[in-house]
Amino acid sequence: MSDFAYVGSELNLFAGATTWKCYVRFHLRPYLSGDILEVGAGIGASTATFNDGTQRRWVCLEPDRELADRIKPNLPAKLTNCEVVVGTLSDLGTGDQFDSILYMDVLEHIEADAAELARAASHLRPNGFLAVLSPAFPWLFTPFDAAIGHYRRYTKNSLRSIAPQGMREVKCIYLDSAGLLASLGNKLFLRSPIPSKAQIQFWDRTMVPISRYADRALNHAIGKSILGVWQKVH
């Protein structure tokens, strides 16, 4: 039984960021089939967007029992393929193998990130995918990052440096270039310790749609978040 308690308070705030989650899903769609493990599933906000019911099995792994208990009530009733496990990778059996493993805004909360990804790779089937979405650029690190338990923000180089052995890079891109400008503005001028609901709604409804076009025009060279996907080759 897990006695872990998540220190962050932002999950409810970002749960309504559906435009952003749909944008991330667009980039993850090729890797969302078969048996999926979502590490650090929180309250199921990403699960509700990424899981369309066609997957054979979707395991929500969440170490905080109070959060885990909220996952199923937050999901559409049609998602009968979803199961919740309270714990971490160490609570899975060696025979638990998956076609894709997702870390959606989770890896930055784990101090030993390279070791975590190495453990995750051991639960991937051959040709399976490991996907990581995390905050980008250390120079954007704010008191908000610290308050919700972030150890770091990533660059392409730092994320690539912890990719497990035996994995082939499929993509490593930055997302949300417009959001990066908003985050920088907040850090330099507003200095808000936590974004308001109105700020989240403005970012999600106005800035993320801009990013969908700007990111492509900029060839994903900059953004508030980073997305890495690797495939297990052996």
Tens of pLDDT, residue by residue over 165-224, are 999 999 999 999 999 987 777 665 555 667 778 888 999 999 999 999 999 999 999 999
In terms of DSSP bridges, do strands 124-135 and 98-104 run parallel, antiparallel, or are they unpaired? parallel
By CB neighbour count within 10 A (0-12 exposed, 13-18 middle, 19+ buried), where does 154 fall?
Answer: buried
At 127 the three-state DSSP class reads strand
At 172 the three-state DSSP class reads strand
How many CB atoms lie under 10 A from the CB of residue 123? Answer: 20
Question: pTM of the prediction?
Answer: 0.94
Tens of pLDDT, residue by residue over 11-27, are 777 888 899 999 999 99
Contact 99, 55 (CB under 8 A): no
* Closest C-alpha to 106, from 154, 138, 72, 163: 154
Percent of the chain with pLDDT over 90: 75
Structural domains in the chain plus CATH codes: 11-232 (3.40.50.150)
* Closest C-alpha to 136, from 50, 215, 69, 57: 215
